Amino acid sequence: MGVSVAASPPTHCFTITPEEPAAEAARLIAASRLGAVPVQDRTGRVVGLVSERDIVRVVATRAQGLRGLAVEEVMSRDAATIRPETTAGDALALMQQRDLRHLPLCGADGRLIGVVGLGDLMRG
């Protein structure tokens, strides 16, 4: 697949900061009907991703669920990111290697453009 991910418009996304309550991330995910929310620091740099799987893992293993937890305590910290020139094939390979369903799409300046989901790539 030689087509760049920019050919398949990324899903518009909401973002959240590491300090916000994890329950707010869960509300954003549910309200937006997306499977993940990028986590940005105060400079706008993507520092992680909180996904449905992250939320479910905490709820299933912690008696208090998300109560009292910040996003930084439930997010995946080493979020893989891609650039607009990344090919769809390379994005799919990265998703498969790391067992991911969502990849933050960042520009050359490191700023978030959107989120590319597995469904976006399969449609594109």
Tokens of 61: 């293993």
| CATH code of the domain containing 116 | 3.10.580.10
Is there a contact between 75 and 50 (Cβ–Cβ < 8 Å)? yes
Mean pLDDT computed over 40-67: 92
Q: How confident is the model at residue 81 (pLDDT cuts 50, 70, 90)?
A: very high
Is there a contact between 116 and 80 (Cβ–Cβ < 8 Å)? no
Q: How confident is the model at residue 52 (pLDDT cuts 50, 70, 90)?
A: very high
Per mean pLDDT, which range of 33-42, 48-57, 84-93 is the poorest? 33-42
**pLDDT score of 8:** 52
Domain assignment of residue 70, given as a range: 5-123
pTM of the model: 0.82
Is there a contact between 105 and 112 (Cβ–Cβ < 8 Å)? yes
> How many folded domains does the chain comprise?
1
Count each helix (H run) and each strand (E run) in the chain, helices first: 4, 4
Mean pLDDT computed over 63-73: 94
Mean pLDDT computed over 109-116: 85
Phi, psi of 40 (to 5 degrees): -115, 140
Tell me which residue of 120, 90, 94, 96 sits closest to 2, measured CA to CA.
90
